[in-house]
Structure 1
Amino acid sequence: MSTVHVFAEIKANRGYENELESALCNLLEPSREELGCCQFELYRDKGVDDVFILQEVWISQRSLDMHMESDHFQSFLNSVQENQWIEYITPRTLNFLG
């Protein structure tokens, strides 16, 4: 079993940067407490104010899948879709090389 590394780039729709940041911050602690979560960190791009990066490390693909099905993650997705806070989410699953 190998760890799963994910970088997710998330771009807010203009004018919704603060709402999106708050919603993303609300994901941090519940996600970090999930079984199989090794790392779950949020960054805001210094050069592009409406872009956020989630850096995640999961013990397995199953752990990541369970996270994506969790109540707090589904609630986040529903909120951002209903409120149209996000222009796009681009998740990238990466192979760790060293």
Structure 2
Amino acid sequence: MSLKLIATLTFPADQQEKARDILADLVEKSQSDKGCLQYELFAVDKQVEEGEPVPEGDFVVLEEWWDEEALEAHVASEHFQGFLGAFAEGEIGLKIQRLLTV
């Protein structure tokens, strides 16, 4: 059974454009990773009705991997490590959720 993930990323306001550009490059390269079934980038819509909670995060990546080995290879890849290294420590807020079929 494949692994499905939601990665929610948060960046400081002054890093938004940089993040968007680097994430676009990461997505392009990750989609070619062995075992990648889905890797899509979305910006979080912060336009909410008055009184409604503002959604968490700035960007969301929907991921699906053939298996744990494929995911581990992605995390160890040069392009993923380069993404992490492009920002100072603490500039990336990253929350990973694994999805389960019900």
Specify the TM-score bucket, using the shorter chain as the normaliser: 0.7 to 0.9
Q: Is the 8 A contact 1:19 1:85 kept in 2?
A: no
Q: CA deviation at 1:85?
A: 4.1
For each residue in 1:14-72, what CA deviation from the matched residue of structure 2 results, as whole angstroms up to 9, or x when unmatched?
21111111110010121011110000000001216x61000000000110000000000
Work out the percentage of aligned pairs sharing the same amino acid: 26
Q: CA deviation at 1:92?
A: 0.7
Q: Which residue of 2 aligns with 1:52?
A: 59
The equivalent position to 1:89 in structure 2, one of 86, 94, 99, is 94
3-state SS, counterpart of residue 34 of structure 2: coil
Distance in 2 between the 1:74 and 1:40 partners?
16
- Give the unaligned 5+ runs of structure 1: none
Give me the TM-score of the superposition, normalised by structure 2.
Answer: 0.84
Q: Which residue of 2 aligns with 1:21?
A: 20
Residue 95 of structure 1 aligns with an amino acid whose one-letter code is L
- Return structure 1 stretches of 4+ with deviation > 2 angstroms: none
Give me the TM-score of the superposition, normalised by structure 1.
Answer: 0.87
Q: CA deviation at 1:80?
A: 1.9
